[in-house]
Amino acid sequence: MAEIRVVIAEDQGMVLGALAALLDLEADICVVARAANGRAALDAVASCSPDVLVTDIEMPRMTGLELAAALKTSHPEVRTIILTTFARPGYLRRAMDAGARGYLLKDRPAAELADAVRRVHQGLRVVDPALAAEAWSAEADPLSDRERQILQRAGDGKSSTEIATELHLSDGTVRNYLSEAIAKLGAANRVDAARIARAKGWL
């Protein structure tokens, strides 16, 4: 039986090493590359042709959700599992929309990850059951992709001018998007809006 080829993306070195070691213990799974950020993971997928990608959500240079969406377009044959600490329905919905086939929480038993890799490789979906039930009843994400991009940067402390430069927009356009996002979330200001959106898994 052919081994299941896996790339792991995780920005915490100790966690990355532990995940790789755990999966390498399995006779039918081979970790072919490790990546410390989303961009490196995308490169690793292109060069190593894995069957499955296991990725964290929050990583530098490209988030796990952005990575899943990119692979859906460029390498649709690679199946993505999101492995995260975030038990938030908003994140789960966005992960599924981005094309992820699995969504697991890091506090689950280690054996479940290997089992998830096998099941996703077979074409099945693997989602934490309690979180899946919660996601069905959760409120819908009101933010547009552009509002999310801008609010994320504002929440990181960037000014409207800095955001405008980074996204090639005018200051006024950035302020308009922020106003829209603040109004949609019923927030007091941009920092409050980012806090609310993060708590719900929308950022």
Domain that holds residue 184: 145-199
Query: Cα Rg for the chain, rounded, in angstroms?
Result: 18
Instruction: Report the domain count for the chain.
Output: 2
* Residue 187: count of CB within 10 angstroms of its CB: 18
pLDDT beyond 80 at 146: yes
Region of 22 please: left (phi>0), alpha (psi -120 to 50) or beta: alpha
* 57 lies in the same domain as 128: yes
CATH number at residue 150: 1.10.10.10
Indicate if the pLDDT at residue 134 is higher than 70. Answer: no
List the structure tokens of 104: 């697991």
Q: What pTM did the predictor assign?
A: 0.69
Both tokens of residue 118? 């096998």
Digit-coded pLDDT (tens) for 153-187: 998 889 999 999 999 999 999 999 999 999 989 88
Last residue of a domain, one of 96, 113, 137: 137
In this structure, are 69 and 169 located in the same domain? no
Q: How far is CA 77 from CA 2, 33, 40, 64, 133, in A?
A: 16, 17, 19, 17, 28
Final residue of a structural domain among 137, 155, 171: 137
Q: What is the CATH number of the domain that holds 72?
A: 3.40.50.2300
Q: Are residues 130 and 152 in the same domain?
A: no
pLDDT computed for residue 94 by the predictor = 84
